[in-house]
Amino acid sequence: MSITKSLNEIRTSIPDQVTLVAVSKTKPNEDLLEAYNAGQRVFGENKVLEMTQKWETLPKDIAWHMIGHLQRNKVKYMAEFVSLVHGVDSFRLLKEINKQGAKCNRTIDCLLQMHIAEENTKFGLGEKELYEIVDSEEFKSMENIKIEGLMGMATFTDDTDQIRKEFKSLKKTFDNLKQQLTHIDTLSMGMSGDYKIAIEEGSTMVRVGSSIFGARNYS
């Protein structure tokens, strides 16, 4: 199926208030342009260098989301253009984003990534670390980052009850955090295999790659 057709099918299957991030990692510019020409403006990448190269060559009205695990020494390369950083999983990383945001006179929008999966391979914060960050004086004084919400990845499994349970727990953490950070409005959860469950459980932003662009080829 073509990218345009897949994209349109996904669009019709998600509610209007849910943002679709087209995950274009490993895909060539032609593929991104096809999605762009079909109206897509939000793209997700997981490598800073690759995202920067695409940003340099593709239309400037694309919003680039960094969805992958991020190393602190790479933040400087994307600070001037990144639109949303999904994978903030440590206070040290958040501090670096704040520092680089200050250097280019921007406030960089971020999501804190929570660890919700059973596997211990997936990155993310626990509740305790989350509140250590948001309760701290240093966090309150940071002027070049803005926390827009939370992100999480469910366990890679066929057990939909398990996936649902993990999304529910993330939604609960989000609702609790919102009591304190009342402006937050973004809950990034759901990928090709589980975005429908994620939306049922309160996702406001889904990150869909292979269902739009086809399987990735890591060679």
Contact residues toward ligand PLP (CB under 6 A) are 23, 25, 46, 67-68, 153, 191-193, 207-211
* Amino acid in the structure at residue 132: E
Residue 17, number of CB atoms within 10 A of its CB: 7
Nearer to ligand PLP, 20 or 130 (CB): 20
Q: Six-digit token pair at 62?
A: 């694309």
Q: How far apart, in whole angstroms, are the C-alpha atoms of residue 165 and residue 206?
A: 17
**CB 127, min distance to ligand PLP, A:** 21
Establish how many alpha carbons lie within 13 A of residue 201's alpha carbon, considering only the half-sphere containing its beta carbon: 27
**CB 192, min distance to ligand PLP, A:** 3
Nearer to ligand PLP, 121 or 182 (CB): 121
**CB 197, min distance to ligand PLP, A:** 13
Q: How far apart, in whole angstroms, are the C-alpha atoms of residue 123 and residue 5?
A: 33
Nearer to ligand PLP, 142 or 195 (CB): 195
**CB 100, min distance to ligand PLP, A:** 21
Nearer to ligand PLP, 68 or 149 (CB): 68
Tokens 């032609």 map to which residue? Answer: 30
